[in-house]
Chain A
Amino acid sequence: MTQQTWDEVGGLLPHDEFRAASEAIVANIEQVIEGKTATVRLALAVLLAEGHLLIEDVPGVGKTKLAKALARSIDCSVRRIQFTPDLLPSDVTGVSVYNQETHDFEFRPGAVFANLVVGDEINRASPKTQSALLECMEERQVTVDGVTYQLQTPFMVIATQNPIEMEGTYPLPEAQRDRFTARIAMGYPDAGAELAMLDGHGATDPLTELRPVSDAATVRQLIGHVRQVHVADAVKQYAIDLVTATREAPDLRLGASPRATLQLLRTARAVAALEGRDYVLPDDLQALAVPVLAHRIIPTADAQLARRTTDAIVAELVHRLPLPNDRKRSPYDTRPGGTGRGPYEPRRP
């Protein structure tokens, strides 16, 4: 198995090539998932940000389809784990079995030994099994019986789960959730997209006809390109401000981790690159704050009682947080009913 470390990913791609490659992947996935361009791009951004994706939504909106479509669009090793309550950690990571022929223990790699790992219904497995993913997702390695095995590059876990209120689910532990770069929701398709889906999916499953448009090497190059995206100091400061705000928000019991800061910025780079920019904007961070931060934080009991979702809390933080004063900025904040930072209230016409 060819092992490739993360430092050996491809370097800077010419701009056009990056654009062509990324657009091809997005277009390919969109053959299957209609009318969800933003979600698809975000999923691709997570891949390019070397992160892992958690798709959370009610059953039947295409979570698994998105995961599989992404996996199939890239010509690389794909493994799928169907998480069930009786799934064991060794099924995920691999197990050493005794080979009678060689009279020795032999390592049988688990499902995570692939470029893309689709973990379906991840919260239907017990926390014990879920935790098996901890090491491989962050450190990209598996340790079994004291032996450490490196995972392939690129490596991405795409997990789907039902909302935790659903029956027969085990909520993911915080540590596990923190390892997912972003949590996205599919949402219901709009009317036109749903009609197109009925037409397209009536006879055959388009997934079976999906052909790869990229391969692991290209993805590595794309990742290398993303790494080169410029992040200004002000943007870094803004990311820190955002994460700090979650730690200080009175509604939150647990704020986002430093890992979250890192992944927020990485994903922002990927998003910026996908949009054809070579620099990150605060807009990217604002757009990513909810997908990247909301699943990591825990609201206080009061906020829970008030039925404030973490999404809403993060969105409000973004709305309230001023941009960092990277230079002597004007002191304006004239939003009506805003944070009260600015003294000026405009007359409404």
Chain B
Amino acid sequence: MTAHRNLGFVAAAATLLAAAPLSAIFLRWTWLIEAAIVVAVVAGAAALSRLARAPLWGQLIAMLAGLTLGLTWVFPGGTELLAFLPTPSTFAHFGDLLGASMQDMRTYSVKVDDVDSLLFLTVLGVGGVAVLVDVLSVGLRRPALAGLPMLAIYSVPVAVYVDDVPATPFVVGACGFLWLLVTDNVDRVRRFGRRFTGEGRDVDVWEASPLAAAGRRLAVVGVALAVALPLAVPGMTSGLLNAAGNGTGDGNGRPGQGNSGRIDLFAALSGQLKQSTVTELVKVTTNEPAPFYLRFGVADDLRPNGFRDRTPTGRAVNQALTDPTERAGVERQRYRATVEVSKSLNMPLLPVYAQPVKTEDLGRSWRYDTSLQVIFSDRENSRGKRYSFDYVRSTYSPSALRAARSLPTDDPLRRQQTATPGAPAVDQLVRQLVKGKQNDYDKVRAIYDYFSVENGFTYSLSTRDGTSGEDITDFLSTKAGFCQQYAGAMAWLVRAAGIPARVAFGFTNGTRSSGGTYVLTNQNLHAWTEVYFGSGIGWVPFDATPAASVPGSVRSAWAPDTEAPEEATPSTGGAAAPDGADASAGPNSPDRLDKDADQGLSVGDGGPTQQSPVWPWWVAGALALLVLLAVPALRRSALRRRRRVRVAAPPATALAAIPGQRGEVRDIVVGVDADRARADAHAAWDELLDTLVDFQVRVDRTETPRATAERLVQETLTEDAGAVTGVRLLGRAEERARYARDPLAGEELHPALRSVRGALAARADRRTRIMAALLPPSVLLRWRTTVSERSARLVTAGGEVRQRLLRWSPRRLLAGRPAR
């Protein structure tokens, strides 16, 4: 019982520790005090019920009762008996609180002040988790399962904090969980009555039980796997690992990977454009004949390090959206579009045409930011979504834009959207460009026209990412970049001219499949500039990127293609279309896109190569692999050649005759020649053994050369007379080289070796022959033996070091304590 009581309190404390991540939600610590009170009441109720030897369901009821009493005392409704006994009206009060909390959750943003309803929800949740943890760890003795409800608490800040969740509270919670596990296991071990070490020998108290070694190994393997697996799986690079890995954001991640409402759209864009594979992201069907770009994000926060997107705010999309008002010179037409997002596009933003006025098939969690004109969500993401919306397409006549008044300098929008960190070179360029221009449109057009090919700008994907002041200056001087630099630079320049501008993100029109359906891939991702015009006109898109370099690019009457002669391109005939839909397809009509689709983004005129080709890497990799695979075979053939040189060398023929002890004459091979003959025999024999291993004939270290030769004769080389003679000769030569006074001399070992090898090869099956040629087992075996020997030596050394270190183990101090 003592152990149970102990475990119960540990469970309660662990629950409170696991609640630590909630500190990220609340401004103050009131929630913790209240949760502690309720958890304490729950734990007390559990302990009391266990003292009364209540069954598990009894304990559960007691804890739930304790939870109710605690909640009643902490959140009184005013009608309680003795301040803690709930009445029906108390529960009604709880219901109200719960309802209010649902509302407040949407209303408040983190960190929240002490709101009663949210506090109630928190305390109720923590109390509920405390009950679950107690039941699981004490009642069912499954403390590992108790980790799940604890993890549930952690999921709350994870869901709220879309960017990042502080790690420390999680560590605190994890420590609580570990404490619970340890307490449970200590309790379990103590029930044995004595230390169980698994080995026959006595283990000192200070020494870790040998049984624990398996656990330690498992833990190490588990942690290693847990860390290595996400690194190995492509795409799982967000979160902690990514933050640790690179500070600049993922270079090739999909847009909006993770559940973030704010994403680095620039990084995502360039990453997608530079990808060699083409992934279908969106399929959109519209009844608009020549739609402008599908749009999903905006970056309008210009910091020294470039344009950044802000956290959007707004109302739910299923409420009525504002319909833009009619203005003179602005043609507005209502169309309808259906978007199917593929599973590859995963971001908290939805691509729509500007400007949506009515949406269908979208839940309450999707909201619309009227100023940014984006649809976003904190909870859902675009993956696999399918939705329809009505939108109003505005087309502007240059004269109307020209007539638009500038915003007053104290207008908050102008103040906010014209701020630039300041770059002297840029400012000077802008001054030069807008000199003499009277109205905003002319200024914008001057800047827009500046990014033309005539001015030396070329499209290139191989430039550095970024829209910081430095990047923009670089771009303006190198004049090579892609859409994000064009869009960023133009927005910057327009801002510098005192006109609000921002960068919009979306898709070009991609490939038109049938009717009004466009298939948009990652290669169609695009960025362009939006400029704000007064007089109620609003944000007007300008795409400064050379149309020829962007598949599916669209030009408009107010922002014509700078490369094409104005109003002269065949398809700008659309500009003269009777309906006045000026937003017409540029030279990059879908027909032409079909041609370019396979190449991804085509290279602009004379532009540098955007993508270094991939195949050299593949070829290099394949070559490296081949070389790697060929290493054993090469090693084997080198070995064979070396031995053949030995064996094939002229045999020692210089025989000397010396008188024997008793007068008879003994022929011996002397000196160098004897050594030579010995070495030759050894080389031949080694080669034979290697050959045997290669052809998977067993080799036995306990066999003498003679026995090996005889076994081969008996078992393997029975039919081949030449090989039989050969192997016997080799055996005899090796035997004499090893054991006799004089080695065998004057025999040709190499032909014997060759005949044996031939016989072995003839006998082996095809697979063995191929393996012997390509991956000779003898070489692999030798390497493996070397590795295993080295590692064995290492392990031995490690064991010695450990033994020496154990002498300093602090657990020795426990030796005085009697073992339990």
- Interface residue ranges, A against B (CB under 8 Å): 11-12, 14, 230, 232, 234-235, 277-283, 286, 318-323, 326-327, 329-336, 338, 341-344, 346-347, 349
> Residue B704 at the A interface, CB < 8 A?
yes
- Asked whether, in the complex, the Cβ of A330 is within 8 Å of the Cβ of B690, the reply is yes
> Chain B contact residues (Cβ within 8 angstroms of A): what range?
20 to 34
- Asked whether, in the complex, the Cβ of B704 is within 8 Å of the Cβ of A330, the reply is no
Q: A334-B700, A335-B698, A344-B699 are in contact. List 19 more A-B contacts (CB 8 A).
A: A234-B738, A277-B740, A279-B739, A281-B735, A282-B739, A286-B704, A318-B702, A322-B701, A323-B704, A329-B701, A330-B690, A331-B782, A332-B693, A332-B699, A332-B700, A332-B701, A333-B700, A341-B701, A343-B784
CB neighbours (8 Å) of A14 from chain B are 664
Given A321-B702, A330-B689, answer yes or no on A279-B781 (Cβ-Cβ < 8 Å).
no
Partner of A232, one of B686, B704, B707, B740: B740
- Asked whether, in the complex, the Cβ of B700 is within 8 Å of the Cβ of A279, the reply is no
Partner of B704, one of A11, A12, A230, A281: A281
Within 8 A of A (CB), among B778-794: 781-782, 784-785, 788
CB neighbours (8 Å) of A322 from chain B are 701-702
Partner of B702, one of A235, A279, A323, A331: A323
- Asked whether, in the complex, the Cβ of A279 is within 8 Å of the Cβ of B698, the reply is no
Question: What is the bound-complex CA distance between A335 and B700, given in angstroms?
Answer: 6
- Asked whether, in the complex, the Cβ of A334 is within 8 Å of the Cβ of B693, the reply is yes
CB neighbours (8 Å) of A234 from chain B are 738-739
Partner of B781, one of A232, A281, A343: A343
Question: What is the bound-complex CA distance between A333 and B690, given in angstroms?
Answer: 12
Question: What is the bound-complex CA distance between A282 and B276, given in angstroms?
Answer: 68
- Asked whether, in the complex, the Cβ of B686 is within 8 Å of the Cβ of A330, the reply is yes
Question: What is the bound-complex CA distance between A222 and B771, given in angstroms?
Answer: 54
Complex A-B: 25 CB contacts under 8 Å: A235-B739, A279-B736, A280-B739, A281-B735, A283-B704, A320-B702, A322-B701, A322-B702, A323-B701, A330-B686, A330-B690, A331-B782, A332-B701, A333-B700, A333-B702, A334-B698, A334-B699, A335-B698, A342-B699, A342-B701, A343-B788, A344-B781, A346-B696, A346-B698, A349-B765
- Asked whether, in the complex, the Cβ of A326 is within 8 Å of the Cβ of B738, the reply is yes
Question: What is the bound-complex CA distance between A14 and B703, given in angstroms?
Answer: 32
For residue B609, give the distance in angstroms from its CB to the closest CB of chain A. Answer: 51
- Asked whether, in the complex, the Cβ of A11 is within 8 Å of the Cβ of B661, the reply is yes
Q: Which of A341, A344, A349 has the most CB of B within 10 A?
A: A344
> Residue B37 at the A interface, CB < 8 A?
no
CB neighbours (8 Å) of B703 from chain A are 323
Given A281-B735, A323-B702, answer yes or no on A346-B697 (Cβ-Cβ < 8 Å).
yes
Question: What is the bound-complex CA distance between A347 and B660, given in angstroms?
Answer: 51
CB neighbours (8 Å) of A327 from chain B are 682
> Residue B777 at the A interface, CB < 8 A?
yes
- Asked whether, in the complex, the Cβ of A319 is within 8 Å of the Cβ of B689, the reply is no
CB neighbours (8 Å) of A280 from chain B are 739
Name the residue of chain B whose CB is nearest to the CB of A331: B785
For residue A314, give the distance in angstroms from its CB to the closest CB of chain B. Answer: 14
> Residue B435 at the A interface, CB < 8 A?
no
Name the residue of chain A whose CB is nearest to the CB of B741: A230
For residue A327, give the distance in angstroms from its CB to the closest CB of chain B. Answer: 7
- Asked whether, in the complex, the Cβ of A232 is within 8 Å of the Cβ of B739, the reply is yes
- Asked whether, in the complex, the Cβ of A12 is within 8 Å of the Cβ of B660, the reply is yes
For residue B6, give the distance in angstroms from its CB to the closest CB of chain A. Answer: 49
**Closest 3 pairs (CB-CB, A-B):** A322-B701, A333-B701, A279-B740
For residue A12, give the distance in angstroms from its CB to the closest CB of chain B. Answer: 5
- Asked whether, in the complex, the Cβ of B740 is within 8 Å of the Cβ of A347, the reply is no
CB neighbours (8 Å) of B686 from chain A are 330
Question: What is the bound-complex CA distance between A323 and B703, given in angstroms?
Answer: 7
> Residue B662 at the A interface, CB < 8 A?
yes
Q: Which of B662, B686, B777, B784 has the most CB of A within 10 A?
A: B662
For residue B564, give the distance in angstroms from its CB to the closest CB of chain A. Answer: 72
Question: What is the bound-complex CA distance between A319 and B700, given in angstroms?
Answer: 10
> Residue B405 at the A interface, CB < 8 A?
no
CB neighbours (8 Å) of A344 from chain B are 693, 699, 777, 781
CB neighbours (8 Å) of A342 from chain B are 699, 701, 781, 785
Given A235-B739, A278-B740, A343-B784, answer yes or no on A338-B700 (Cβ-Cβ < 8 Å).
yes
Question: What is the bound-complex CA distance between A344 and B813, given in angstroms?
Answer: 47
For residue A309, give the distance in angstroms from its CB to the closest CB of chain B. Answer: 21
Given A322-B701, A330-B782, A344-B777, answer yes or no on A232-B689 (Cβ-Cβ < 8 Å).
no
Q: Which of B660, B698, B702, B788 has the most CB of A within 10 A?
A: B702
- Asked whether, in the complex, the Cβ of A333 is within 8 Å of the Cβ of B707, the reply is no
Q: Which of B682, B697, B700 has the most CB of A within 10 A?
A: B700
For residue B579, give the distance in angstroms from its CB to the closest CB of chain A. Answer: 79
For residue B741, give the distance in angstroms from its CB to the closest CB of chain A. Answer: 5
B644-677 to A contact mask, C-beta < 8 Å, 1/0: 0000000000000000111010000000000000
CB neighbours (8 Å) of B660 from chain A are 12
For residue B721, give the distance in angstroms from its CB to the closest CB of chain A. Answer: 22
For residue A276, give the distance in angstroms from its CB to the closest CB of chain B. Answer: 12
- Asked whether, in the complex, the Cβ of A283 is within 8 Å of the Cβ of B689, the reply is no
- Asked whether, in the complex, the Cβ of B741 is within 8 Å of the Cβ of A283, the reply is no
For residue A7, give the distance in angstroms from its CB to the closest CB of chain B. Answer: 15
- Asked whether, in the complex, the Cβ of B702 is within 8 Å of the Cβ of A319, the reply is yes
CB neighbours (8 Å) of A283 from chain B are 704, 706-707
Within 8 A of A (CB), among B695-741: 696-704, 706-707, 735-736, 738-741
CB neighbours (8 Å) of B765 from chain A are 349
Name the residue of chain B whose CB is nearest to the CB of A319: B702
Question: What is the bound-complex CA distance between A286 and B784, given in angstroms?
Answer: 31
For residue A288, give the distance in angstroms from its CB to the closest CB of chain B. Answer: 13
Name the residue of chain A whose CB is nearest to the CB of B703: A323
CB neighbours (8 Å) of A279 from chain B are 736, 739-741
Question: What is the bound-complex CA distance between A283 and B736, given in angstroms?
Answer: 12
- Asked whether, in the complex, the Cβ of A347 is within 8 Å of the Cβ of B661, the reply is no
Question: What is the bound-complex CA distance between A338 and B735, given in angstroms?
Answer: 23
Question: What is the bound-complex CA distance between A338 and B699, given in angstroms?
Answer: 11
Question: What is the bound-complex CA distance between A277 and B732, given in angstroms?
Answer: 12
Name the residue of chain A whose CB is nearest to the CB of B765: A349
CB neighbours (8 Å) of A335 from chain B are 698, 700, 702
CB neighbours (8 Å) of A286 from chain B are 704, 707
Question: What is the bound-complex CA distance between A279 and B704, given in angstroms?
Answer: 14
For residue B496, give the distance in angstroms from its CB to the closest CB of chain A. Answer: 73
CB neighbours (8 Å) of A332 from chain B are 689, 693, 699-701, 781
Question: What is the bound-complex CA distance between A346 and B697, given in angstroms?
Answer: 7
For residue B665, give the distance in angstroms from its CB to the closest CB of chain A. Answer: 10
CB neighbours (8 Å) of B736 from chain A are 279
Name the residue of chain B whose CB is nearest to the CB of A232: B739
Question: What is the bound-complex CA distance between A283 and B731, given in angstroms?
Answer: 12
Name the residue of chain A whose CB is nearest to the CB of B781: A344
CB neighbours (8 Å) of A341 from chain B are 701
Name the residue of chain B whose CB is nearest to the CB of A235: B739
B525-541 to A contact mask, C-beta < 8 Å, 1/0: 00000000000000000
For residue A343, give the distance in angstroms from its CB to the closest CB of chain B. Answer: 6
Q: Which of B699, B707, B735 has the most CB of A within 10 A?
A: B699
- Asked whether, in the complex, the Cβ of A281 is within 8 Å of the Cβ of B662, the reply is no
For residue A230, give the distance in angstroms from its CB to the closest CB of chain B. Answer: 5
CB neighbours (8 Å) of A333 from chain B are 699-702
Question: What is the bound-complex CA distance between A336 and B698, given in angstroms?
Answer: 8
Question: What is the bound-complex CA distance between A335 and B707, given in angstroms?
Answer: 14
For residue A97, give the distance in angstroms from its CB to the closest CB of chain B. Answer: 46
CB neighbours (8 Å) of B707 from chain A are 283, 286
Question: What is the bound-complex CA distance between A318 and B701, given in angstroms?
Answer: 11
CB neighbours (8 Å) of A232 from chain B are 738-740
CB neighbours (8 Å) of B693 from chain A are 332, 334, 344
CB neighbours (8 Å) of A230 from chain B are 739-741
CB neighbours (8 Å) of A334 from chain B are 693, 698-700
- Asked whether, in the complex, the Cβ of B704 is within 8 Å of the Cβ of A282, the reply is yes
For residue B423, give the distance in angstroms from its CB to the closest CB of chain A. Answer: 67
Question: What is the bound-complex CA distance between A110 and B794, given in angstroms?
Answer: 67
Question: What is the bound-complex CA distance between A334 and B741, given in angstroms?
Answer: 30
Given A322-B702, A333-B699, A335-B700, answer yes or no on A12-B661 (Cβ-Cβ < 8 Å).
yes
